[in-house]
């Protein structure tokens, strides 16, 4: 029952107390959401609750700080995976039975017969389909539907198309996504399993003494004492701090979901090592705006021009992203999968690199697959081959590049 759910949250290292658990039980008893069917001891059956209603109630009562939302979402998703209504917490429901039923798998010969459309042809075809289509379709090769070979829809096969109504990427070949997707902020409190990433980042250091005089200056103390005929003359000095300034731009969502853990480790290490660190999020490629909070990325946007003007050339610019996308997203106006950008992403990358001459791109995608991704080759060329893998060696090379 709910006790197992409580222990799942604790196992995920969420600071959830027994008092908060009792608050959740009390809210269920009071009928805050759904029918009031839970006995006072919390050991009965919960029936009829919408999983969404229960999610928001549980998050409100159990999580006190929004920085833990991501961990809560993962634990909640793992525990209630595949469940649409909360009816019995002791029974498991098959995780993806509906999605698997819709997916269509083609032989290599069938896939070879599919032809990718050009950008203009794809946009015109979508406009025409939207005007003509009147009903739902499944398994076809023309209409907007599911499980087919049409370039429009979900859970199908096509070399290049527009994804409509699908929860996550499968073949990573869509040039546009017709859904508003929810991305998660990277957790900057992630505990590192190793100190190696921090050690690699320390190659990017520029020490300066600042602050109050709270550190013994041993050499000066000895010199002044000797000059003072042996009478002790203690001298203090400010502590040394890493004075380097870093502007960190991180790709989030989509194919980056495969690399969350390593990027979180990098983000956590960077926040520890760099006193002057500014960060922003983008998706796939940088365009005319970025954001700091993924839950409010369309409500709290930061104009890219403002970011360029706000920080001076002293900042080291570090991109973190897998550069895995449709080449249209980099080179084509309107190529963004989420909205119609007026200028191509390549223009914004050039502006950022001109504003911050010291830059590097960290790619979490295994270096062995870079040669098979057209978009990675495009980004590599744009960043003047200053792309490095998210490995210890790659980080060390990137830090050396930034210190030149």
**Domains in the chain: ranges and CATH:** 2-86 (no CATH), 100-177 (no CATH), 196-204+243-403 (3.40.50), 209-241 (no CATH)
Q: Residue 14's closest CA among 60, 89, 64?
A: 64
Model pLDDT, residue 380 = 95
Please name every residue paired with 363 in a beta bridge, in sequence order, or none if there are none: 389
- The DSSP call for residue 248 is E
pLDDT mean over 103-109: 51
CA 302 distance to own-chain centroid:
17
Tokens of 129: 């389909």
Percent of the chain with pLDDT over 90: 26
Element (H, E) at 52: helix 51-62
More confident residue, 285 or 135: 285
What is the tens place of the pLDDT at every residue in 160-184? 555 555 555 555 555 455 455 566 6
Model pLDDT, residue 6 = 85
Average pLDDT in the chain: 75
CA 264 to each of CA 8, 165, 268, 395: distance values in angstroms, whole numbers, following the listed order: 21, 28, 6, 15
CA dist., res. 258 & res. 177, Å (int): 18
Position 192 confidence tier, pLDDT thresholds 50, 70, 90: very low
What is the tens place of the pLDDT at every residue in 11-34? 888 888 888 888 888 888 888 876
Model pLDDT, residue 39 = 44
More confident residue, 152 or 349: 349
Q: Is the pLDDT of residue 285 over 50?
A: yes
Percent of the chain with pLDDT over 70: 62
What is the tens place of the pLDDT at every residue in 116-150? 555 566 566 656 666 666 555 555 555 455 555 55
Position 198 confidence tier, pLDDT thresholds 50, 70, 90: confident
CA 62 distance to own-chain centroid:
24
pLDDT mean over 215-236: 83
More confident residue, 265 or 348: 348
CA 278 to each of CA 102, 192, 230, 255, 271: distance values in angstroms, whole numbers, following the listed order: 43, 21, 49, 24, 9
Tokens of 200: 């690699």
Position 9 confidence tier, pLDDT thresholds 50, 70, 90: confident
Model pLDDT, residue 348 = 96
Model pLDDT, residue 358 = 94
Q: Is the pLDDT of residue 228 over 70?
A: yes
CA dist., res. 99 & res. 76, Å (int): 20
More confident residue, 46 or 200: 200
CA dist., res. 278 & res. 271, Å (int): 9
Model pLDDT, residue 256 = 92
Model pLDDT, residue 165 = 52
Q: Is the pLDDT of residue 101 over 50?
A: no
More confident residue, 69 or 153: 69
pLDDT mean over 50-71: 83
Residue 51 contacts residue 80 (beta carbons within 8 Å): yes
Q: In degrees, to the nearest 5, what angle opens at C-alpha 83 toward C-alphas 82 and 85?
A: 160
Model pLDDT, residue 55 = 85
What is the tens place of the pLDDT at every residue in 299-350? 889 999 999 999 999 899 999 999 999 999 999 999 888 888 999 999 999 9
Beta strands in 11-103 (DSSP E): 49-50, 85-86
Residue 163 contacts residue 175 (beta carbons within 8 Å): no
Verdict on whether the full-model pTM lies above 0.75: no
More confident residue, 193 or 387: 387
Residue 47 contacts residue 36 (beta carbons within 8 Å): no
Position 247 confidence tier, pLDDT thresholds 50, 70, 90: very high
């Amino acid at each position: 029952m709910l006790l197992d759910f409580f222990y799942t949250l604790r196992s995920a290292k969420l600071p959830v107390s027994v008092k908060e658990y009792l608050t959740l039980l009390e809210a269920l008893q009071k009928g805050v959401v759904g029918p009031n069917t839970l006995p006072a001891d919390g050991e009965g059956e919960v029936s009829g609750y919408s999983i969404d209603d229960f999610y928001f109630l549980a998050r409100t009562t159990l999580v006190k700080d929004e920085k833990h939302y991501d961990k809560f979402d993962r634990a909640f998703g793992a525990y209630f995976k595949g469940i649409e209504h909360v009816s019995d917490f002791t029974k498991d429901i098959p995780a993806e039975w509906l999605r698997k039923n819709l997916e269509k798998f083609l032989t290599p010969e069938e896939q070879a017969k599919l032809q990718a459309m050009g950008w203009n042809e794809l946009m015109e075809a979508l406009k025409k389909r939207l005007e003509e289509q009147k009903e739902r379709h499944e398994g076809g090769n023309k209409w907007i539907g599911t499980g087919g070979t049409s370039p429009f829809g979900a859970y199908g096969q096509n070399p290049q198309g527009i994804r409509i109504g699908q929860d996550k990427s499968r073949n990573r070949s869509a040039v546009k996504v017709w859904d508003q997707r929810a991305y998660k902020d990277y957790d900057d409190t992630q505990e590192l399993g190793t100190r190696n990433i921090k050690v690699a980042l320390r190659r990017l250091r520029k020490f300066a003494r600042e602050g109050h005089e709270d550190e013994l200056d041993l050499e000066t103390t000895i010199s002044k004492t000797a000059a003072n005929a042996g009478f002790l003359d203690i001298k203090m000095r400010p502590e040394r701090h890493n004075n380097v300034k870093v502007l960190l731009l991180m790709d989030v969502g989509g194919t980056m979901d495969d690399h969350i853990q390593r990027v979180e480790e990098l983000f956590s290490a960077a926040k520890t090592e760099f006193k002057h660190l500014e960060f922003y999020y983008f998706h796939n490629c940088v365009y005319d705006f970025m954001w700091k909070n993924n839950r409010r990325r369309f409500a709290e946007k930061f104009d890219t021009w403002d970011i360029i003007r706000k920080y001076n050339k002293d900042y080291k610019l570090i991109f973190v992203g897998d550069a895995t996308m449709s080449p249209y997203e980099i080179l084509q106006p309107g190529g963004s999968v989420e909205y119609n950008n007026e200028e191509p992403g390549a223009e914004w990358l050039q502006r950022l690199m001109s504003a911050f001459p010291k830059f590097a791109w960290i790619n979490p995608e295994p270096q062995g697959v870079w040669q098979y991704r057209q978009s990675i080759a495009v980004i590599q060329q744009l960043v003047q081959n200053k792309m490095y893998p998210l490995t210890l060696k790659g980080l060390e090379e990137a830090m050396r590049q930034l210190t030149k």
